[in-house]
Structure 1
Amino acid sequence: MIRSVTMLSRAETYLAYRRSLGFKLKTSGRQIISFARYADDKGHEGTLSSDIALRWAKANATIADPFTWAKRLEVLRPFANFLAAEYGETTFPATNPFGRTKRRLAPHIFTIEEITAIIAEAHHIRRVQAAGTLMMPALVGLLAATGLRISEALSLLLRDLDLEAAQILVREAKYGRQRLVALHPTSVAALENFLDRRNAMFPSSPTDPVFLSELSGKMLTYMNAWHAWFRITQRLGIRPRGGHPFVRIHDLRHSFICRRLILWQQSGAEIDAAMMMLSTYVGHVNLRDTYWYIESVPELMAIAGNRFEDAATVGGDLDD
Protein backbone atom coordinates (compact mmCIF):
# COMPACT_ATOMS: atom_id res chain seq x y z
CA MET A 1 0.00 0.00 0.00
CA ILE A 2 1.29 3.46 -0.90
CA ARG A 3 0.03 4.91 2.39
CA SER A 4 2.33 2.62 4.41
CA VAL A 5 5.44 4.12 2.82
CA THR A 6 6.86 7.11 4.68
CA MET A 7 8.03 10.24 2.91
CA LEU A 8 11.43 9.73 4.53
CA SER A 9 11.84 6.32 2.89
CA ARG A 10 10.86 7.83 -0.47
CA ALA A 11 13.39 10.61 0.01
CA GLU A 12 16.15 8.16 0.92
CA THR A 13 15.35 6.05 -2.15
CA TYR A 14 15.45 9.14 -4.38
CA LEU A 15 18.74 10.42 -2.94
CA ALA A 16 20.38 7.00 -3.20
CA TYR A 17 19.36 6.82 -6.86
CA ARG A 18 20.67 10.30 -7.71
CA ARG A 19 23.92 9.74 -5.84
CA SER A 20 24.45 6.47 -7.72
CA LEU A 21 24.51 8.64 -10.85
CA GLY A 22 27.31 10.78 -9.42
CA PHE A 23 25.37 13.67 -7.88
CA LYS A 24 26.57 14.71 -4.41
CA LEU A 25 23.43 16.56 -3.30
CA LYS A 26 24.92 17.72 0.00
CA THR A 27 22.80 20.80 0.65
CA SER A 28 19.74 19.81 -1.37
CA GLY A 29 19.89 16.34 0.14
CA ARG A 30 19.67 17.75 3.65
CA GLN A 31 16.72 19.91 2.63
CA ILE A 32 14.85 17.02 1.02
CA ILE A 33 15.34 14.93 4.17
CA SER A 34 14.11 17.91 6.20
CA PHE A 35 10.99 18.09 4.04
CA ALA A 36 10.38 14.35 4.34
CA ARG A 37 10.59 14.45 8.12
CA TYR A 38 8.31 17.48 8.20
CA ALA A 39 5.73 15.70 6.04
CA ASP A 40 5.84 12.57 8.21
CA ASP A 41 5.64 14.61 11.43
CA LYS A 42 2.57 16.41 10.10
CA GLY A 43 0.88 13.08 9.43
CA HIS A 44 0.94 13.55 5.66
CA GLU A 45 -0.11 10.39 3.84
CA GLY A 46 0.47 9.33 0.28
CA THR A 47 2.96 10.78 -2.15
CA LEU A 48 4.08 14.39 -2.42
CA SER A 49 1.42 17.08 -2.83
CA SER A 50 1.54 20.79 -3.60
CA ASP A 51 -0.05 21.60 -0.25
CA ILE A 52 2.57 19.92 1.93
CA ALA A 53 5.40 21.24 -0.25
CA LEU A 54 4.18 24.84 0.06
CA ARG A 55 3.69 24.50 3.80
CA TRP A 56 7.23 23.16 4.29
CA ALA A 57 8.75 25.88 2.11
CA LYS A 58 7.52 28.53 4.55
CA ALA A 59 7.93 26.53 7.76
CA ASN A 60 11.08 27.24 9.78
CA ALA A 61 12.76 29.08 6.91
CA THR A 62 15.95 30.82 8.02
CA ILE A 63 14.66 34.08 6.53
CA ALA A 64 10.91 34.61 6.21
CA ASP A 65 10.73 36.16 2.76
CA PRO A 66 9.38 35.01 -0.65
CA PHE A 67 12.88 34.59 -2.11
CA THR A 68 13.87 32.10 0.59
CA TRP A 69 10.56 30.26 0.29
CA ALA A 70 10.95 30.07 -3.49
CA LYS A 71 14.43 28.55 -3.21
CA ARG A 72 13.26 25.98 -0.66
CA LEU A 73 10.33 24.97 -2.84
CA GLU A 74 12.48 24.64 -5.95
CA VAL A 75 14.77 22.16 -4.19
CA LEU A 76 11.83 19.75 -4.10
CA ARG A 77 11.04 19.93 -7.83
CA PRO A 78 13.39 17.12 -9.00
CA PHE A 79 12.18 14.97 -6.10
CA ALA A 80 8.57 15.64 -7.13
CA ASN A 81 9.36 14.69 -10.74
CA PHE A 82 10.92 11.45 -9.53
CA LEU A 83 7.85 10.60 -7.45
CA ALA A 84 5.50 11.56 -10.28
CA ALA A 85 7.14 8.89 -12.43
CA GLU A 86 6.42 6.34 -9.69
CA TYR A 87 3.07 7.57 -8.39
CA GLY A 88 0.63 9.24 -10.73
CA GLU A 89 -1.13 11.15 -7.94
CA THR A 90 1.94 13.32 -7.16
CA THR A 91 1.22 17.05 -7.48
CA PHE A 92 3.60 20.02 -7.48
CA PRO A 93 3.24 23.70 -8.51
CA ALA A 94 3.96 24.11 -12.23
CA THR A 95 5.44 27.54 -11.54
CA ASN A 96 6.89 28.91 -8.33
CA PRO A 97 4.18 30.94 -6.54
CA PHE A 98 6.79 32.70 -4.40
CA GLY A 99 8.60 34.23 -7.36
CA ARG A 100 12.24 34.20 -8.47
CA THR A 101 14.76 31.73 -7.07
CA LYS A 102 17.96 33.43 -8.18
CA ARG A 103 19.28 36.70 -6.82
CA ARG A 104 22.95 37.51 -7.13
CA LEU A 105 24.34 40.33 -5.03
CA ALA A 106 27.28 42.36 -6.26
CA PRO A 107 30.56 40.95 -4.89
CA HIS A 108 33.32 42.83 -3.10
CA ILE A 109 36.15 43.37 -5.58
CA PHE A 110 39.44 43.42 -3.70
CA THR A 111 42.14 45.88 -4.63
CA ILE A 112 45.69 44.56 -5.04
CA GLU A 113 46.56 46.45 -1.86
CA GLU A 114 43.82 44.66 0.09
CA ILE A 115 44.93 41.23 -1.11
CA THR A 116 48.54 42.03 -0.25
CA ALA A 117 47.48 43.16 3.22
CA ILE A 118 45.42 39.99 3.79
CA ILE A 119 48.35 37.73 2.85
CA ALA A 120 50.70 39.76 5.05
CA GLU A 121 48.31 39.56 8.00
CA ALA A 122 47.92 35.81 7.45
CA HIS A 123 51.62 35.44 8.23
CA HIS A 124 50.90 36.75 11.74
CA ILE A 125 47.69 34.91 12.59
CA ARG A 126 47.62 33.17 15.96
CA ARG A 127 49.07 29.68 15.86
CA VAL A 128 46.01 28.22 17.58
CA GLN A 129 44.29 28.44 14.18
CA ALA A 130 44.07 25.27 12.07
CA ALA A 131 44.64 27.53 9.05
CA GLY A 132 47.75 29.18 10.43
CA THR A 133 50.83 31.04 9.27
CA LEU A 134 51.85 28.29 6.83
CA MET A 135 48.57 27.29 5.21
CA MET A 136 46.55 30.51 5.18
CA PRO A 137 48.95 32.77 3.22
CA ALA A 138 49.39 30.06 0.58
CA LEU A 139 45.66 29.39 0.35
CA VAL A 140 44.75 33.07 -0.04
CA GLY A 141 47.52 33.59 -2.57
CA LEU A 142 46.41 30.63 -4.67
CA LEU A 143 42.76 31.71 -4.67
CA ALA A 144 43.67 35.28 -5.62
CA ALA A 145 46.06 34.19 -8.39
CA THR A 146 43.89 31.53 -10.04
CA GLY A 147 40.25 32.27 -9.20
CA LEU A 148 39.74 28.75 -7.87
CA ARG A 149 36.68 28.08 -5.77
CA ILE A 150 37.57 27.55 -2.11
CA SER A 151 36.14 24.01 -2.30
CA GLU A 152 38.36 23.24 -5.29
CA ALA A 153 41.49 24.49 -3.53
CA LEU A 154 40.79 22.57 -0.33
CA SER A 155 40.20 19.36 -2.33
CA LEU A 156 43.57 19.51 -4.09
CA LEU A 157 45.97 16.62 -3.57
CA LEU A 158 49.73 16.87 -4.02
CA ARG A 159 49.50 14.79 -7.20
CA ASP A 160 47.24 17.47 -8.71
CA LEU A 161 50.07 20.02 -8.73
CA ASP A 162 52.32 19.81 -11.79
CA LEU A 163 54.67 22.71 -11.20
CA GLU A 164 57.03 21.69 -14.00
CA ALA A 165 54.16 22.10 -16.46
CA ALA A 166 52.89 25.12 -14.48
CA GLN A 167 49.38 23.76 -14.09
CA ILE A 168 46.91 22.35 -11.59
CA LEU A 169 44.41 19.56 -12.20
CA VAL A 170 41.14 20.43 -10.49
CA ARG A 171 39.45 17.09 -9.88
CA GLU A 172 36.69 18.25 -7.53
CA ALA A 173 35.17 21.04 -9.64
CA LYS A 174 31.52 22.03 -9.53
CA TYR A 175 29.09 19.41 -10.90
CA GLY A 176 31.86 16.79 -10.78
CA ARG A 177 33.80 18.24 -13.70
CA GLN A 178 37.59 18.36 -14.07
CA ARG A 179 39.74 21.07 -15.62
CA LEU A 180 43.36 22.18 -15.95
CA VAL A 181 44.31 25.57 -14.52
CA ALA A 182 47.46 27.23 -15.85
CA LEU A 183 49.77 28.95 -13.37
CA HIS A 184 51.73 32.17 -13.72
CA PRO A 185 55.50 31.80 -13.06
CA THR A 186 55.15 33.84 -9.87
CA SER A 187 52.46 31.44 -8.64
CA VAL A 188 54.70 28.47 -9.42
CA ALA A 189 57.54 30.02 -7.41
CA ALA A 190 55.23 30.76 -4.47
CA LEU A 191 53.85 27.21 -4.48
CA GLU A 192 57.34 25.71 -4.65
CA ASN A 193 58.36 27.70 -1.59
CA PHE A 194 55.17 26.71 0.24
CA LEU A 195 55.55 23.02 -0.60
CA ASP A 196 59.16 22.95 0.63
CA ARG A 197 57.98 24.17 4.03
CA ARG A 198 54.79 22.11 4.04
CA ASN A 199 56.48 18.83 3.13
CA ALA A 200 59.06 19.30 5.87
CA MET A 201 56.28 19.34 8.47
CA PHE A 202 53.49 17.13 7.13
CA PRO A 203 52.95 13.90 5.12
CA SER A 204 53.83 14.37 1.48
CA SER A 205 52.66 11.33 -0.47
CA PRO A 206 50.93 12.06 -3.81
CA THR A 207 47.49 11.38 -2.35
CA ASP A 208 47.88 13.70 0.65
CA PRO A 209 45.90 16.98 0.63
CA VAL A 210 47.82 20.11 -0.29
CA PHE A 211 46.23 22.11 2.51
CA LEU A 212 46.22 20.59 5.99
CA SER A 213 45.16 21.64 9.45
CA GLU A 214 48.23 22.88 11.29
CA LEU A 215 46.72 21.46 14.48
CA SER A 216 45.60 17.97 13.46
CA GLY A 217 47.45 17.33 10.20
CA LYS A 218 44.17 16.36 8.55
CA MET A 219 42.63 17.97 5.47
CA LEU A 220 41.89 21.64 6.06
CA THR A 221 38.15 22.29 6.15
CA TYR A 222 36.17 25.26 4.93
CA MET A 223 35.31 26.23 8.51
CA ASN A 224 39.02 26.16 9.42
CA ALA A 225 39.74 28.58 6.59
CA TRP A 226 36.69 30.71 7.31
CA HIS A 227 37.60 31.26 10.97
CA ALA A 228 41.09 32.40 10.00
CA TRP A 229 39.71 34.55 7.18
CA PHE A 230 37.21 36.23 9.48
CA ARG A 231 39.88 37.10 12.04
CA ILE A 232 42.21 38.48 9.38
CA THR A 233 39.67 40.64 7.55
CA GLN A 234 38.16 41.92 10.80
CA ARG A 235 41.58 42.87 12.09
CA LEU A 236 42.33 44.75 8.87
CA GLY A 237 38.96 46.49 9.00
CA ILE A 238 38.13 45.88 5.33
CA ARG A 239 34.68 47.30 4.65
CA PRO A 240 32.52 45.45 2.11
CA ARG A 241 31.83 47.38 -1.09
CA GLY A 242 29.43 44.85 -2.61
CA GLY A 243 25.95 43.72 -1.65
CA HIS A 244 27.02 41.40 1.16
CA PRO A 245 27.41 42.44 4.81
CA PHE A 246 31.02 41.21 5.00
CA VAL A 247 33.88 40.33 2.66
CA ARG A 248 33.95 36.64 1.75
CA ILE A 249 36.66 34.19 0.73
CA HIS A 250 34.67 33.63 -2.48
CA ASP A 251 35.16 37.31 -3.33
CA LEU A 252 38.77 36.43 -4.18
CA ARG A 253 37.41 34.42 -7.13
CA HIS A 254 35.14 37.29 -8.17
CA SER A 255 38.08 39.70 -7.91
CA PHE A 256 40.28 37.50 -10.12
CA ILE A 257 37.61 37.33 -12.82
CA CYS A 258 36.94 41.07 -12.69
CA ARG A 259 40.62 42.05 -12.83
CA ARG A 260 41.08 39.88 -15.91
CA LEU A 261 38.03 41.39 -17.62
CA ILE A 262 39.11 44.92 -16.73
CA LEU A 263 42.54 44.36 -18.30
CA TRP A 264 40.97 42.95 -21.46
CA GLN A 265 38.42 45.72 -21.78
CA GLN A 266 41.00 48.44 -21.16
CA SER A 267 43.21 46.98 -23.89
CA GLY A 268 40.31 46.77 -26.36
CA ALA A 269 40.44 42.98 -26.61
CA GLU A 270 37.71 41.06 -28.44
CA ILE A 271 35.60 40.52 -25.36
CA ASP A 272 33.41 37.67 -26.66
CA ALA A 273 36.41 35.48 -27.49
CA ALA A 274 38.04 36.42 -24.21
CA MET A 275 34.88 35.50 -22.33
CA MET A 276 34.98 31.98 -23.76
CA MET A 277 38.56 31.48 -22.57
CA LEU A 278 37.88 32.92 -19.13
CA SER A 279 34.71 30.90 -18.67
CA THR A 280 36.62 27.68 -19.40
CA TYR A 281 39.53 28.67 -17.16
CA VAL A 282 37.40 29.37 -14.08
CA GLY A 283 35.08 26.41 -14.66
CA HIS A 284 31.81 28.16 -15.42
CA VAL A 285 29.28 25.67 -16.77
CA ASN A 286 27.23 28.42 -18.42
CA LEU A 287 28.79 31.34 -20.29
CA ARG A 288 26.07 33.58 -18.86
CA ASP A 289 27.73 33.21 -15.45
CA THR A 290 30.79 34.98 -16.85
CA TYR A 291 28.85 37.71 -18.67
CA TRP A 292 27.02 38.43 -15.41
CA TYR A 293 30.04 40.36 -14.16
CA ILE A 294 29.79 42.98 -16.91
CA GLU A 295 26.18 43.64 -15.97
CA SER A 296 26.60 43.62 -12.19
CA VAL A 297 30.04 44.93 -11.20
CA PRO A 298 30.37 48.75 -11.27
CA GLU A 299 34.01 48.70 -12.37
CA LEU A 300 33.15 46.68 -15.48
CA MET A 301 29.94 48.55 -16.23
CA ALA A 302 31.86 51.83 -16.31
CA ILE A 303 34.45 50.52 -18.75
CA ALA A 304 31.78 49.00 -21.00
CA GLY A 305 29.95 52.33 -20.99
CA ASN A 306 33.08 54.24 -21.94
CA ARG A 307 33.75 51.90 -24.86
CA PHE A 308 30.18 52.36 -26.09
CA GLU A 309 30.56 56.14 -25.91
CA ASP A 310 33.81 55.96 -27.89
CA ALA A 311 32.15 53.82 -30.56
CA ALA A 312 29.14 56.12 -30.75
CA THR A 313 31.39 59.16 -31.25
CA VAL A 314 32.86 57.58 -34.38
CA GLY A 315 29.37 57.36 -35.89
CA GLY A 316 27.60 54.73 -37.94
CA ASP A 317 24.48 52.67 -37.56
CA LEU A 318 24.08 50.82 -34.30
CA ASP A 319 23.07 47.64 -36.12
CA ASP A 320 26.14 47.51 -38.39
Structure 2
Amino acid sequence: MTYLDLSAHAEEFLAMRRAIFRANPRRGGQDRRRLRYNEKLVRGFITYWQEQGCPWPIPAALVLDWVTLGSGRHHYYRDLHRFYAVRAFLQQVRVFEPGTQIPENIFRPLHRRRTPHLYSESDIVLLMEAAWKLRAVCRFRRETVHTLIGLLASTGMRIGEALGLTLDDVNLDVDPPHVVVRDTKFGKSRNVVLHPSTAKRLRQYLHWRAV
Protein backbone atom coordinates (compact mmCIF):
# COMPACT_ATOMS: atom_id res chain seq x y z
CA MET A 1 0.00 0.00 0.00
CA THR A 2 1.54 3.28 -1.13
CA TYR A 3 0.74 6.85 -0.16
CA LEU A 4 -1.04 7.38 -3.48
CA ASP A 5 -3.09 4.20 -3.03
CA LEU A 6 -4.28 5.16 0.44
CA SER A 7 -4.96 8.73 -0.71
CA ALA A 8 -7.15 7.36 -3.51
CA HIS A 9 -9.11 5.30 -0.95
CA ALA A 10 -9.49 8.45 1.15
CA GLU A 11 -10.87 10.53 -1.71
CA GLU A 12 -13.41 7.81 -2.55
CA PHE A 13 -14.42 7.62 1.12
CA LEU A 14 -14.79 11.40 1.42
CA ALA A 15 -16.71 11.62 -1.86
CA MET A 16 -19.17 9.05 -0.52
CA ARG A 17 -19.58 11.05 2.69
CA ARG A 18 -20.24 14.23 0.72
CA ALA A 19 -22.84 12.44 -1.41
CA ILE A 20 -24.64 11.21 1.71
CA PHE A 21 -24.54 14.74 3.10
CA ARG A 22 -26.04 16.28 -0.05
CA ALA A 23 -28.78 13.64 -0.17
CA ASN A 24 -30.14 14.72 3.21
CA PRO A 25 -31.93 18.09 2.95
CA ARG A 26 -32.01 18.44 6.74
CA ARG A 27 -28.26 18.89 7.05
CA GLY A 28 -27.26 22.35 8.23
CA GLY A 29 -24.21 24.53 8.62
CA GLN A 30 -22.92 22.71 11.68
CA ASP A 31 -23.06 19.38 9.83
CA ARG A 32 -21.20 20.94 6.90
CA ARG A 33 -18.43 22.17 9.20
CA ARG A 34 -18.17 18.74 10.82
CA LEU A 35 -17.90 17.14 7.39
CA ARG A 36 -15.05 19.46 6.41
CA TYR A 37 -13.33 18.86 9.73
CA ASN A 38 -13.49 15.09 9.22
CA GLU A 39 -12.04 15.50 5.72
CA LYS A 40 -9.15 17.46 7.22
CA LEU A 41 -8.59 14.75 9.83
CA VAL A 42 -8.50 11.89 7.31
CA ARG A 43 -6.05 13.70 5.04
CA GLY A 44 -3.95 14.70 8.03
CA PHE A 45 -3.72 11.11 9.18
CA ILE A 46 -2.55 9.93 5.75
CA THR A 47 0.18 12.58 5.79
CA TYR A 48 1.28 11.37 9.23
CA TRP A 49 1.25 7.77 8.00
CA GLN A 50 3.53 8.77 5.11
CA GLU A 51 5.90 10.52 7.50
CA GLN A 52 6.16 7.28 9.48
CA GLY A 53 7.29 5.35 6.39
CA CYS A 54 3.90 4.05 5.15
CA PRO A 55 3.85 0.86 7.27
CA TRP A 56 1.31 -1.71 6.06
CA PRO A 57 -0.91 -2.97 7.50
CA ILE A 58 -1.34 0.22 9.47
CA PRO A 59 -0.57 -0.66 13.11
CA ALA A 60 -3.24 0.22 15.64
CA ALA A 61 -0.50 1.81 17.74
CA LEU A 62 0.26 4.25 14.92
CA VAL A 63 -3.38 5.33 14.82
CA LEU A 64 -3.39 5.93 18.56
CA ASP A 65 -0.11 7.84 18.36
CA TRP A 66 -1.66 10.16 15.78
CA VAL A 67 -4.85 10.57 17.82
CA THR A 68 -2.91 11.62 20.90
CA LEU A 69 -0.55 14.08 19.18
CA GLY A 70 -0.60 17.17 21.38
CA SER A 71 -3.20 15.52 23.58
CA GLY A 72 -3.98 16.40 27.16
CA ARG A 73 -6.55 15.87 29.85
CA HIS A 74 -8.71 18.67 28.43
CA HIS A 75 -8.69 17.29 24.85
CA TYR A 76 -11.00 14.31 25.32
CA TYR A 77 -13.57 15.36 22.72
CA ARG A 78 -10.92 16.35 20.20
CA ASP A 79 -9.19 12.98 20.57
CA LEU A 80 -12.51 11.17 20.28
CA HIS A 81 -13.36 12.94 17.00
CA ARG A 82 -9.91 12.23 15.59
CA PHE A 83 -10.19 8.56 16.53
CA TYR A 84 -13.68 8.00 15.10
CA ALA A 85 -12.92 9.86 11.87
CA VAL A 86 -9.92 7.66 11.08
CA ARG A 87 -11.54 4.47 12.35
CA ALA A 88 -14.51 4.97 10.00
CA PHE A 89 -12.09 5.53 7.12
CA LEU A 90 -10.11 2.37 7.89
CA GLN A 91 -13.32 0.35 8.09
CA GLN A 92 -14.06 1.47 4.54
CA VAL A 93 -10.53 0.62 3.40
CA ARG A 94 -10.83 -2.89 4.84
CA VAL A 95 -13.68 -3.60 2.39
CA PHE A 96 -11.09 -3.42 -0.41
CA GLU A 97 -7.97 -4.33 1.57
CA PRO A 98 -8.83 -7.20 3.97
CA GLY A 99 -5.46 -6.87 5.72
CA THR A 100 -6.38 -3.45 7.13
CA GLN A 101 -6.29 -3.39 10.92
CA ILE A 102 -9.08 -1.62 12.81
CA PRO A 103 -8.08 -0.25 16.22
CA GLU A 104 -10.36 -1.20 19.09
CA ASN A 105 -12.69 1.46 20.39
CA ILE A 106 -10.88 2.94 23.37
CA PHE A 107 -13.52 5.54 24.16
CA ARG A 108 -16.61 4.94 26.21
CA PRO A 109 -19.88 6.21 24.71
CA LEU A 110 -20.47 9.90 25.34
CA HIS A 111 -24.19 9.38 25.81
CA ARG A 112 -25.82 6.24 27.10
CA ARG A 113 -29.11 5.77 25.31
CA ARG A 114 -31.99 5.10 27.64
CA THR A 115 -33.74 1.77 27.38
CA PRO A 116 -36.95 2.51 25.48
CA HIS A 117 -40.24 1.87 27.21
CA LEU A 118 -42.36 -0.62 25.30
CA TYR A 119 -46.08 -0.08 25.73
CA SER A 120 -48.16 -3.21 26.12
CA GLU A 121 -51.53 -3.62 24.45
CA SER A 122 -53.24 -2.81 27.73
CA ASP A 123 -51.12 0.36 28.07
CA ILE A 124 -52.18 1.48 24.60
CA VAL A 125 -55.83 0.80 25.37
CA LEU A 126 -55.56 2.92 28.53
CA LEU A 127 -53.93 5.75 26.59
CA MET A 128 -56.64 5.71 23.95
CA GLU A 129 -59.34 5.65 26.61
CA ALA A 130 -57.67 8.58 28.36
CA ALA A 131 -57.74 10.52 25.08
CA TRP A 132 -61.54 10.59 25.24
CA LYS A 133 -61.30 12.27 28.66
CA LEU A 134 -59.14 15.15 27.47
CA ARG A 135 -60.49 18.63 27.93
CA ALA A 136 -62.13 19.69 24.68
CA VAL A 137 -60.21 22.95 24.27
CA CYS A 138 -60.69 22.77 20.51
CA ARG A 139 -62.84 20.84 18.08
CA PHE A 140 -61.77 17.26 17.35
CA ARG A 141 -59.01 17.32 19.98
CA ARG A 142 -60.15 14.07 21.56
CA GLU A 143 -60.75 12.36 18.22
CA THR A 144 -57.39 13.53 16.88
CA VAL A 145 -55.35 12.32 19.87
CA HIS A 146 -57.26 9.03 20.02
CA THR A 147 -56.70 8.37 16.30
CA LEU A 148 -53.06 9.47 16.46
CA ILE A 149 -52.22 7.04 19.27
CA GLY A 150 -53.83 4.19 17.35
CA LEU A 151 -51.95 5.11 14.18
CA LEU A 152 -48.60 5.20 15.98
CA ALA A 153 -49.25 1.90 17.75
CA SER A 154 -50.35 0.04 14.63
CA THR A 155 -47.72 1.33 12.19
CA GLY A 156 -44.60 2.06 14.25
CA MET A 157 -44.30 5.50 12.67
CA ARG A 158 -42.34 8.23 14.39
CA ILE A 159 -44.42 10.97 15.97
CA GLY A 160 -42.95 13.57 13.63
CA GLU A 161 -43.82 11.45 10.61
CA ALA A 162 -47.43 11.04 11.73
CA LEU A 163 -47.84 14.75 12.48
CA GLY A 164 -46.41 15.60 9.07
CA LEU A 165 -49.04 13.65 7.12
CA THR A 166 -51.37 15.55 4.80
CA LEU A 167 -54.58 14.45 3.10
CA ASP A 168 -52.61 13.79 -0.08
CA ASP A 169 -50.46 11.30 1.85
CA VAL A 170 -53.42 9.19 2.99
CA ASN A 171 -54.59 6.56 0.48
CA LEU A 172 -57.52 4.63 1.92
CA ASP A 173 -59.34 3.68 -1.29
CA VAL A 174 -56.55 1.54 -2.75
CA ASP A 175 -55.49 -2.04 -2.11
CA PRO A 176 -53.76 -2.19 0.27
CA PRO A 177 -54.61 1.09 2.01
CA HIS A 178 -51.48 2.98 3.00
CA VAL A 179 -50.00 6.34 3.90
CA VAL A 180 -46.97 7.96 2.28
CA VAL A 181 -44.35 9.14 4.76
CA ARG A 182 -42.25 11.87 3.15
CA ASP A 183 -38.86 13.34 4.09
CA THR A 184 -37.94 10.62 6.56
CA LYS A 185 -34.79 10.48 8.66
CA PHE A 186 -32.57 9.98 5.61
CA GLY A 187 -34.49 12.29 3.29
CA LYS A 188 -36.43 9.52 1.53
CA SER A 189 -40.12 8.60 1.30
CA ARG A 190 -41.80 5.29 2.03
CA ASN A 191 -45.24 3.69 1.94
CA VAL A 192 -46.67 2.40 5.23
CA VAL A 193 -49.38 -0.21 4.75
CA LEU A 194 -52.31 0.12 7.14
CA HIS A 195 -54.08 -2.65 9.01
CA PRO A 196 -57.76 -2.86 7.94
CA SER A 197 -58.89 -1.71 11.40
CA THR A 198 -56.54 1.28 11.21
CA ALA A 199 -57.78 2.20 7.75
CA LYS A 200 -61.38 1.95 8.99
CA ARG A 201 -60.60 4.25 11.90
CA LEU A 202 -58.95 6.81 9.63
CA ARG A 203 -62.02 6.80 7.38
CA GLN A 204 -64.20 7.51 10.42
CA TYR A 205 -61.88 10.31 11.49
CA LEU A 206 -61.91 11.91 8.05
CA HIS A 207 -65.71 11.64 8.01
CA TRP A 208 -65.88 13.47 11.35
CA ARG A 209 -63.62 16.19 10.03
CA ALA A 210 -65.75 16.59 6.91
CA VAL A 211 -69.07 16.89 8.76
Instruction: Provide the C-alpha distance between the structure 2 equivalents of 1:79 and 1:115, rounded to a whole number of angstroms.
Output: 45
Q: CA deviation at 1:139?
A: 0.8
- 1:35-88 Cα deviation digits (max 9, x unpaired): xxxxxxxxxxxxxxxxxxxxxxxxxxxxxxxxxxxxxxxx97424135669x9x
Q: CA deviation at 1:21?
A: 4.8
Where structure 1 has 5 or more consecutive residues not aligned to the other structure, the ranges are: 1-17, 34-74, 201-320
Tell me the TM-score normalized by structure 1. 0.36
Q: Does residue 181 in structure 1 map to residue 183 in structure 2?
A: no
Structure with the larger RCO, 1 or 2 (CA within 8 Å, 6+ apart): 1
Q: CA deviation at 1:150?
A: 0.7
Q: CA deviation at 1:175?
A: 0.8
Contact 1:168 1:182 in 2 (8 A): yes
For 1:24, the equivalent position in structure 2 comes to 26
Q: CA deviation at 1:98?
A: 5.4
Instruction: Provide the C-alpha distance between the structure 2 equivalents of 1:82 and 1:138, rounded to a whole number of angstroms.
Output: 46
Q: Does residue 109 in structure 1 map to residue 118 in structure 2?
A: yes
Q: 1:95 is aligned with what amino acid?
A: F
Q: CA deviation at 1:198?
A: 2.0
Instruction: Provide the C-alpha distance between the structure 2 equivalents of 1:130 and 1:190, rounded to a whole number of angstroms.
Output: 18
Superposed, which structure 2 residues align to 1:38-187 within 5 Å?
A: 77-81=34-38, 93=79, 94-95=82-83, 99-101=108-110, 103-128=112-137, 132-165=141-174, 166-187=177-198
Describe the SS at the equivalent of 1:133.
helix
CA RMSD of aligned residues (A): 3.6
Contact 1:143 1:150 in 2 (8 A): yes
Q: CA deviation at 1:131?
A: 8.4
Q: 1:126 is aligned with what amino acid?
A: R
Instruction: Provide the C-alpha distance between the structure 2 equivalents of 1:196 and 1:95, rounded to a whole number of angstroms.
Output: 56
Describe the SS at the equivalent of 1:169.
strand
Q: Does residue 197 in structure 1 map to residue 208 in structure 2?
A: yes
Q: CA deviation at 1:120?
A: 1.0
Contact 1:155 1:172 in 2 (8 A): no
Describe the SS at the equivalent of 1:175.
coil
- 1:11-34 Cα deviation digits (max 9, x unpaired): xxxxxxx986543136xx5xx39x
Aligned residues: 138
